[in-house]
Structure 1
């Protein structure tokens, strides 16, 4: 394994100072380009037809095809502008969680992933923006492809204060209206909220024609519940503390977390959104490069 890939291990990344350095190390090992842009819009070069959806601009209807088939199709064209990527980062209190099984908190891991994606997008001279949120949108940095933009995004991420609850559903609805230019929306969150409301918010993104990728960021202890002795669990996001015997809860807890993750995954896939579960003990090169390779094959 090349020496640079050693930096992709979460334990090593945790020792590096600064997100920009971490991002550079992560990308250094495997950067090979994310896409020939899969995004298509209405501009100059004709690409293909797609079926009309209520709300589409009738100016782009191919009336010749309609006359021959009695079906309404729109002409699609290759987008003149570069791909736009939006990074939507959950900075709520639960993202601070870090068990002994992980070298970084969920927030730190998600920040590293977001910084790496931003590094990749800007490296390709595409545009990337950033949203940080908890129970409200805290920062919204508009997309740019400038060389200095990465430093701005990282500066925003390093200033977050994860002390509040999360409200994914309302936030996603709000962002779907505010992010007016269609692009790829990466959501980096543990998604610990009402699943139905959250999925309704994701559906709004899809309604606005965004390409949605959910990076469901979880600590391994949240999935495996490895606790043995009597344990005091500290409640985050306004939940109280609780002293419990883990053995008495393990089965019920694991059934509940499995039910939750399965529901989120099924809901994402039903809407045509990509779902990727990432554990904070997973090397970031594995988490990101596996997904990007899958996406590249699918887009082709």
Structure 2
């Protein structure tokens, strides 16, 4: 049965604000019926205990319910500036079949996270890039800013080439205040250069989440026989025997993801591998599970 929060279902809803609200409400409802229930109950007021925190701040009532150590968050801790960093390169517009494009999927997930953060009154801003930084909305939590962010996301079209490492370095230089940077990209390019640029963000004191969004076909390679592929950014055409190439391709895509997984782990960056067939509540839940595991 198709999930009510699947990309296919949400694609029938044209307004991004309605998509975001539907994802968040379904996600929070799902948390109440999952092992993460304790997290949702105190979502705005608690965070997981970190080594070095004062043990006196542990909330033992929450511990009794969840068997995990949480401490009460003070107001200064909750007002973390968040920035959506959206990849606008043409490769993000790839679509196989009737699923969402990588960009549409990223936009919907970003909108849901913006809505979720707005519920906590956390400031959210928007940065976009292809070969350089483009649109910039400062992080704000005022009434109406959610609509500004969603309107900006709705009006974007992926096109052009990408220079992700250079843009990450620019973001690291631009952000002066400790921020949460949420990157949405297919990460096409040299992983070594991208990870080095991500390290600049981490060394600047920023918390980073990498949502690695690939098309379902890029992950599963459902092709047979001779197939002509076009590089979405260069336009170069390549014909391959998909049947004979499939095993090698799947090994390469697994290694590609693993490189980012290990590299991000070493930098204490959350790496969330996604594909355009994944229901949005599952995408958010996997992210929260990784956050809890890291701490």
TM interval, short-chain normalised = 0.7 to 0.9
Write the mapping of 1:211-226 to structure 2, written as runs, cut at 5 A. Answer: 211-226=207-222
Contact 2:228 2:237 in 1 (8 A): yes
Q: Would you say 1:15 and 2:8 are equivalent positions?
A: no
The alpha carbon displacement at 1:289 in A equals: 2.3
Equivalent pairs, count = 263
The alpha carbon displacement at 1:24 in A equals: 0.7
The alpha carbon displacement at 1:201 in A equals: 0.8
User: Counterpart in 1 of 2:96?
Assistant: 99
1:144 corresponds, among 114, 135, 140, to 140
Deviation string, structure 1 residues 73-115 (Cα, Å, up to 9, x no partner): xxxx967261221111111111111112x62111000000000
Deviation string, structure 1 residues 267-286 (Cα, Å, up to 9, x no partner): 10011101110111010001
The alpha carbon displacement at 1:227 in A equals: 0.3
User: Counterpart in 2 of 1:89?
Assistant: 86
User: Counterpart in 1 of 2:66?
Assistant: none
Q: Give the distance between the partners of 2:100 and 2:156, measured in 1 at CA.
A: 16
Write the mapping of 1:138-177 to structure 2, written as runs, cut at 5 A. Answer: 138-177=134-173
Contact 1:88 1:132 in 2 (8 A): yes
2:23 corresponds, among 16, 23, 26, to 26
> Is the alpha carbon distance of 1:79 and 1:167 closer, same or farther for their aligned partners in structure 2, counting shifts above 3 Å?
farther
Q: Give the distance between the partners of 2:230 and 2:174, measured in 1 at CA.
A: 35
With normalisation by structure 1, the TM-score equals 0.80
Q: In structure 2, the residue corresponding to 1:237 is in which secondary structure? A: coil
Contact 2:220 2:250 in 1 (8 A): yes
Contact 1:34 1:120 in 2 (8 A): no
Q: Give the distance between the partners of 2:135 and 2:9, measured in 1 at CA.
A: 29
The alpha carbon displacement at 1:191 in A equals: 0.3
* Gapped regions of structure 1 (runs ≥ 5): 40-45, 49-76
The alpha carbon displacement at 1:154 in A equals: 1.3
The alpha carbon displacement at 1:34 in A equals: 4.7
> Is the alpha carbon distance of 1:271 and 1:143 closer, same or farther for their aligned partners in structure 2, counting shifts above 3 Å?
same
The alpha carbon displacement at 1:181 in A equals: 1.2
Q: In structure 2, the residue corresponding to 1:143 is in which secondary structure? A: strand
Contact 1:87 1:187 in 2 (8 A): yes
RMSD over aligned CA atoms reads: 2.6
> Is the alpha carbon distance of 1:142 and 1:196 closer, same or farther for their aligned partners in structure 2, counting shifts above 3 Å?
same
Write the mapping of 1:28-107 to structure 2, written as runs, cut at 5 A. Answer: 28-31=25-28, 32=40, 34=43, 36=45, 80=76, 82-100=79-97, 103-107=99-103
Q: In structure 2, the residue corresponding to 1:126 is in which secondary structure? A: coil
Q: Give the distance between the partners of 1:122 and 1:226, measured in 2 at CA.
A: 39
> Is the alpha carbon distance of 1:290 and 1:260 closer, same or farther for their aligned partners in structure 2, counting shifts above 3 Å?
closer
Contact 2:270 2:291 in 1 (8 A): no
| Higher gyration radius (CA) | 1
> Is the alpha carbon distance of 1:215 and 1:37 closer, same or farther for their aligned partners in structure 2, counting shifts above 3 Å?
farther
> Is the alpha carbon distance of 1:269 and 1:297 closer, same or farther for their aligned partners in structure 2, counting shifts above 3 Å?
closer
